[in-house]
Structure 1
Amino acid sequence: MTTTVRLPLTISSVTLLNSQGSPQSSFQTGSQFTVNAGIQSTSGTTTQFLGVVQITNANGQAIFAGTDTMSLAPEASASLTFTLALPLGLAPGSYTVTVSAWNGFPATMGTNWKALATPQTVLFTISS
C-alpha cells in the first residue's frame, strides 16, 4: 500500500516574461526578464511559506536565487515574481528555473525543514 503525502501548496504556470511582459524562452546576457509562478493553497488553513526561485546553468551551478516569505489563506492563490537582469558574461546555453515552496530556511527549521509544494521547472536559453 502506497501513501501519498498531500502537500498544502501547488505551484503552476511558471512563466518567463521579457521586459515588455510577453512570454519568452530565449534571452541575451544583460537583458531583463521576469520569472512569474502561480501558487495555490490546497490546504484548509492559512499556509505561511518561503517561495524560492533558483536559476542554474547546465552544470547545476546556481546563477541566481531569490526568496520571498508569503502567506496564503485556505484555497487562495498568489504570484511569486522576481525580475532580474541576466549578468553580462554568462555562457550561452540552456538554463533551468526552479520554483519551490518551503516551510522556512533550512538553518532556521533544522530537521523540521520540508517542502510544501512539488517544485516546478522551466528551461530557457541564453544567446550571445
Structure 2
Amino acid sequence: MREWRLAPLLVILLAVAPLTAAQPTLTTSKPSYAPGETITLIGSGWTPGARVAVEVRDPTDSTVYVEQVEVGGGGAFTITFRLKLTAREGLYTVYASSTAGETAVTTFTVTAAPFYPMIVTGVATKDMAGNLKSEFERGEMVIVEASFTYPGGPYYPEEMSYLVIIELFYGGRPMGLTLTRGTIRSGETKSFGGGIAIRHGAPTGTYTVEVYVWNGFPSEMGANWAALAEMETTTITVNP
C-alpha cells in the first residue's frame, strides 16, 4: 500500500521539476596542432538558425581568429581555418556565443612540430635512357628525378623561392650531389633531375639518395633559414 501512496507524489514532483535543455558543445577535430595546420571547429546542440560568433585567442590572450556562422537545421555547424606558420606555442581558447544566448568554450594546443609548406611527391632513379632503374654498376651515371608541389593557401605567399639538393650517400659518406634553385607558385608542381656519376673505384652495396628542399643555404639565410619540405629518400644498389 505504501507504493500506491508514493505514486501521486512522484507524479507531482515530475510535473513541477524544471526540464534542463541540452547544452551546446564546441569541439576541435583533434587536441593539438602544429603551426600552419588546418583546424576544424565543430558545434552541436545549438539552436537551428541562430548566428554563432567564434573567437580564438592565443596563449597571450590575443585574438587570432574570428568568424560568424549560421547554425544548420540539425543544430550543428563547422568552421575551418588555418593557423599561421608563426603561431605561438601553447594553449589556445575558443569562445562561441549565439544570438539565442547560448555559449560554449573549448581549447586546443599548438606545438612546435615542424610544418613544411612544400611536399616532395616522388623520387625516381633512372639510367641515361630514362628507364627506371635501381641497380647500377661502377662507372655508370645515376639520373635522379624529384617532384615537389606547393599547395599554397590563404596564409602563404603566392610564390616561394627554393633550393633543391639531391645528394647520394654510401653509409654516412657523401658520394655526389646536384642542386638547382627556382621559384614555385601556389598550386604548382615542379620536377628537378640531375646526374651523379658512380666512380670506378666506388664501394659496392646499398646507396641512399636524399632530397632536400630549402629556402637557401644556411650561410645565406642565417636565422631565417628553413626547410621547405620534409626530406625524402630512396635507395640504389651498386654492383662491381
TM-score normalised to structure 2 length: 0.51
Structure 1 residue 32: Cα displacement: 1.5
Local SS of the residue matching 2:33: coil
Q: Which residue of 1 aligns with 2:103?
A: none
Instruction: For residues 76-123 of structure 1, give each alpha carbon's deviation from its aligned partner in whole angstroms, at most 9, with x where no partner exists.
Output: 011111123211110001100001100100111112211000110001
Local SS of the residue matching 1:109: helix
CA distance in 2, matches of 1:70, 1:24: 27
List gaps (5 residues or longer) in structure 1: none
Q: Letter of the 2:178 partner, please give it.
A: G
TM-score normalised to structure 1 length: 0.93
Match of 1:120 among 209, 223, 232: 232
Q: Which structure 1 residue ranges, 4+ long, deviate > 2 Å from structure 2?
A: 1-6
Q: Which residue of 2 aligns with 1:98?
A: 210
Q: Which residue of 2 aligns with 1:57?
A: 170
User: 2:178·2:196 contact (CA, 8 Å) conserved in 1?
Assistant: no
List gaps (5 residues or longer) in structure 2: 1-30, 36-114
Cα RMSD of the aligned pairs, angstroms, is 1.3
- Where in structure 2 are the equivalents of 1:82-93 lying within 5 Å? 82-93=194-205
CA distance in 2, matches of 1:65, 1:33: 11
Aligned length: 127
User: 2:167·2:177 contact (CA, 8 Å) conserved in 1?
Assistant: yes
Larger radius of gyration: 2
Match of 1:27 among 110, 132, 136: 136
Percent identity between the aligned chains?
26
